[in-house]
Structure 1
Amino acid sequence: MKKTKDENTEVQILDAAKNVFQSKGMDGARMQEIADKAGINKAMLHYYYRNKQLLFEAVFNNAFSLLAPQLNAVLNDDSSIEKKIRNFTSNYIAFMDKHPYLPAFVIQELNRNPEFILKMKNNLGFPNIEKFKIQVNQEVKDGILKPISAEQLFMNVMALNVFPFVAKPLLMAFTNTDDEAYNGLIEKRKTEVADFIINSIKNV
């Protein structure tokens, strides 16, 4: 029973911390507020996480550990670049629909602490694009793709997928949409982003 209770408490803490970090940012978040939202006292919170940085990293790792295997699986399977782009886009947008706070959360932390991502990069499971690069170069050589560097292609894929989540309020204002309409646009991007990129790089 104690083990189940401990696991439930940790889930409560991580959920509470995610909400507070999302709304207040790393600097604005307070351990007392997180404890209150989790329904525990501050001493109990410190028992699980000694300081705010460790708690932030746990929240990020918890979310990233769900996304990274999906991205790695797409980047390192034996499918074509076209198929990779379609699967990457669909998987990424579906994941961000469930974790919409994550892109802004990461960018906020990178601006505050640029070395944070270097620590993440050393973790097992961090997405690796080496096979993707080899495949892009080969498909360019075979005439399947127009000449493009794999790094530029990967940045294009990331930018077109990430930006609508990071800049949601701005884009909602530009497009004059409410949440429901904007979510409909995001859903369509699962195919439209992939089509846009593939049509720009594929030899016809």
Structure 2
Amino acid sequence: MASDQDSREKLLDTATLLFSSQGIAATTVAAVARGAGVTPAMVHYYFKTRDQLIEAVVDERVCLFVNSIWDPIRGDEPPEDMILDIVERMIATTEKMPWMPALWVREVLSDGGQLRERMVQRVPLAKIALFSENVARSQQAGAINPGLEPTLIFISVLGLTMLPLAMARTLKNRPLLPVVNKAALLDKTVLTRHIKALLLSGLALPATALSDAHFDE
């Protein structure tokens, strides 16, 4: 027979998946119980209220994702490495938490998302400060584009990473949607390469390609 901890973990996993796939507002305690194969009374045994269940999902599931991204930041690493490592960690962590992109877009980024205020209270401000200060120092040293705003870089990385991952899930569930190269959205190796190239050089051709183009002329 499953232990109390196993039962509680199953309820959290079920709630997290339902929150991601259909939204928190549409997910009742009864739906969580049904998905976990237990009675609503069993849900209330572990989580006295629905709000307590939501808080547990935030603290024990969503914050695991956030911490996996920010905990390794020291603030003294080369800023390019720091930023690209964040991209790799975000994509790698969603392999273990495939529900995260859709939940993030639906419940944190969107107006009215029920996790927005909860996540604002859990923002790792000290780590974000280290990130921004590191970028600013590199700008002052002439190593990074001075036109970039340090506080917006992570938001840009978040958009470049989470939105395509959320869209990939939609495409996977709706295979007939007309997308030119659907495989590129579904392949995380391709996505990682694309994001890194976009962050490092944008639309500019690599130096070798520019030299070749000039030589051809």
Structures share a fold, TM > 0.5? yes
What's the CA shift for 1:144?
0.5
Change (3 A) 1:190 1:74: farther
Are the counterparts in 1 of residues 107 and 114 from structure 2 also a CA contact under 8 Å?
no
1:17 counterpart residue number = 15
Distance, in Å, in 2 between the alignment partners of 1:36 and 1:170 is: 27
Q: Summarize deviations over 1:93-132 as a string: whole Å, max 9, x none.
A: 1111222222321332244646743433334856731111
Match of 2:45 in 1: 47
Q: CA deviation at 1:159?
A: 1.2
Consecutive unaligned residues of structure 2, counting only runs of 5 or more, are 208-217
Structure 1 contact 68–126 (Cα < 8 Å) conserved: no
Instruction: Select the residue among 92, 95, 116 that pairs with 1:94.
Output: 92
Structure 1 residues 8 and 126, CA gap change in structure 2 (3 angstroms): farther
Q: Where has structure 1 moved over 6 Å in runs of 4 or more?
A: none
1:63–1:136 Cα change, 3 Å: same
> Whole-Å Cα distance in 2 between the matches of residues 44 and 164 of structure 1?
37
| 1:135 matches 2:134 | yes
Closer, same or farther: CA 199–127 of 1 in aligned 2, 3 Å: farther
Partner of residue 103, structure 1: 101
Supply the distance in 2 between the matched residues of 1:163 and 1:153 (Cα, whole angstroms).
15
Q: 1:193 pairs with 187, 192, 195, which one?
A: 195
Which deviates further from its counterpart, 66-75 or 43-52?
66-75
Amino acid at match of 2:165: F
Partner of 2:180: 175
CA distance in 1, matches of 2:70, 2:126: 5
Give CA deviations for 1:22-52 in whole Å, capped at 9, x if unaligned: 2321121121121122122111111111232
Between the aligned partners of 2:139 and 2:124, the Cα distance in structure 1 is 28
Asked if structure 1 preserves the Cα contact closer than 8 Å seen for 2:135 and 2:150, the reply is yes
Q: Give the deviation of 1:191 after TM superposition.
A: 3.2
Percent identity of equivalent pairs: 22
Q: In structure 2, how many angstroms separate the alpha carbons of the residues matched to 1:124 and 1:140?
A: 25
Distance 1:154 1:23 in 2: 26
Residue pair 1:75, 1:128 contacting (<8 A) in 2 also: yes
Indicate the structure with greater helix content. 1
CA drift of 1:136 comes to 1.1
Distance, in Å, in 2 between the alignment partners of 1:124 and 1:8 is: 29
Superposition TM-score, scaled by structure 1 size:
0.81
Q: Is the 8 A contact 2:90 2:161 kept in 1?
A: yes
Structure 1 unaligned spans of 5+: none
CA distance in 2, matches of 1:23, 1:64: 15
Aligned AA (1:91): R
Structure with larger RCO (C-alpha < 8 A, sep 6+): 1
- Whether the 8 Å contact between 2:68 and 2:93 is mirrored in structure 1 is no
Aligned mates of 1:198, 1:74 — CA distance in 2:
21
2-side partners of 1:23 and 1:117: how far apart?
Answer: 17
8 Å CA contact 2:70–2:124 kept in 1: the answer is: yes
CA-based RMSD of the aligned residues comes to 2.9
Q: 2:7, 2:97 → 1: CA distance?
A: 21
